A = this chain, B = another copy of it.
Amino acid sequence: MIDLLGAIAYGELTAFERLAEDAKLAPSLEDKVAMSAMATAEFTHLEGLLTRLVELGADPYAAMESFEKGFDEFHAHTRPADWYEGLIKAYVGDGLAADFYREIAAYLDAETRDLIVAALADAGHSTFVVERVRAGIVRDPRLGGRLALWGRRLMGEALTQAQRVAAERDALTALLAGGVDRPSLDLAALSRMFARLTENHAQRMSDLGLDS
């Protein structure tokens, strides 16, 4: 559980960093403020997770450090080339991470689960992304093809890194394998989980007006 909270916390910190960085690509001050607001929302979630980690007797920074490599590699491999790629990454990446953590949270105690679900709540910024991407595609229809490929790449990179992190971290593997006091996540359950993740991803791409 400390591991999972540490992973989400580090994920939120890097999301904050990347959104603040990608806000530089904004074509207007209004867009820059909107993406900076998304960055700020991620950081606000992080603060609750750090408090909970301390309550659980953990060193929150040590808990986060184990996940630096996976997240940093994900971001290094998915640096947006322009504002639209940044928007898609914010929307698709955030949605995918939230889905994944929510799935895992189902295996945790109620208090931690509620905190995780709250930390992942969409602060209503996604309408802004959908609007901007759809307007961009109307102006330049070729953009849709490029962004559809970008969305697939984000999904692929996220799965690659998630798999690596899970393989490296015994605790996460143990969580998936179950224990005396909670159900295991068997192969069938795992494959259903991935089916749900892929379905939600396809839905998000379609909200943006993109093929998945």
- Which residues does A use to contact B, with CB under 8 Å? 13, 16-17, 20-21, 23-24, 28-30, 32-33, 36-37, 39-40, 43-44, 46-47, 50, 61, 64-65, 68
Contacts and interface: CB of A to CB of B under 8 A. Distances in A.
A18 to B, nearest CB: 10
28 contacts: A13-B29, A13-B33, A13-B36, A16-B20, A16-B36, A16-B40, A17-B20, A17-B23, A17-B24, A20-B20, A20-B21, A20-B39, A21-B21, A28-B61, A29-B61, A29-B64, A29-B65, A29-B68, A30-B61, A33-B46, A33-B50, A33-B61, A36-B43, A37-B43, A37-B47, A39-B43, A40-B40, A40-B44
Contacts of A28: 61
A31 B20 CA distance: 17
Interface of A (DSSP majority class): helix
A44 B68 CA distance: 27
Contacts of A47: 37
Contacts of A36: 13, 16-17, 43
Pick from A30, A65, A68 the residue with the most CB of B within 10 Å: A30
